[in-house]
Structure 1
Amino acid sequence: METNNSKVLYTAVTHTTGGRTGESRSSDGKLDIKLSSPGSTGPGTNPEQLFAAGWSACFIGAIGKAAANLNVKVPADLYVSTEIDLVSGDDGYSLQARLNISLPGIDPEVARAIIQGASETCPYSKAIKGNVKTEYNLI
Structure 2
Amino acid sequence: MEKIETILASGRTHATVNRESHVRRGKFGAYNLTLSAAGLETIEYIGIDPHPKAERLFAGAWSACYTTVFGMAAQLKKVTLPPDYSVDIKVNIGQTDAAWLLGAEFTVRVPGLSKDVVESVAHLAHQICPYSKSVHGNIDVVTNVVTV
TM-score, normalised by the number of residues in structure 2: 0.62
Once superposed, what is the RMSD of the aligned Cα atoms? 1.6
Count of aligned pairs between the two proteins: 98
Can you give the 5+ residue segments of structure 1 that lack an aligned partner in the other structure? Answer: 1-40
* Aligned twin of 2:10: none
Q: Residue type of the partner of 1:118? A: A
* Structure 1 runs of 4+ with >6 Å offset: none
Residue 72 of structure 1: how far off its partner (Å) = 1.1
* Aligned twin of 1:52: 59
What is the SS of the residue equivalent to 1:85? Answer: strand
TM-score, normalised by the number of residues in structure 1: 0.66
Q: Could you list the per-position Cα deviations for residues 4-43 of structure 1 after superposition, in whole angstroms to 9, with x for gaps in the alignment?
A: xxxxxxxxxxxxxxxxxxxxxxxxxxxxxxxxxxxxx9x7
Between the two proteins, what is the percent identity of the paired residues? 32
2:132 aligned to which of 117, 121, 125: 125
* Aligned twin of 1:104: 111
What is the SS of the residue equivalent to 1:72? Answer: coil
Residue 89 of structure 1: how far off its partner (Å) = 2.5
User: In 1, Cα distance between the equivalents of 2:96 and 2:114?
Assistant: 39
* Aligned twin of 1:11: none
Can you give the 5+ residue segments of structure 2 that lack an aligned partner in the other structure? Answer: 1-48
Pick which of 101-110 and 88-97 moved more: 88-97
**Higher-RCO chain (CA-CA 8 Å, sequence separation at least 6):** 2
The answer to whether the aligner puts 1:68 opposite 2:75 as a matched pair is yes
More strand, by proportion: 2
* Aligned twin of 2:24: none
Residue 121 of structure 1: how far off its partner (Å) = 0.5
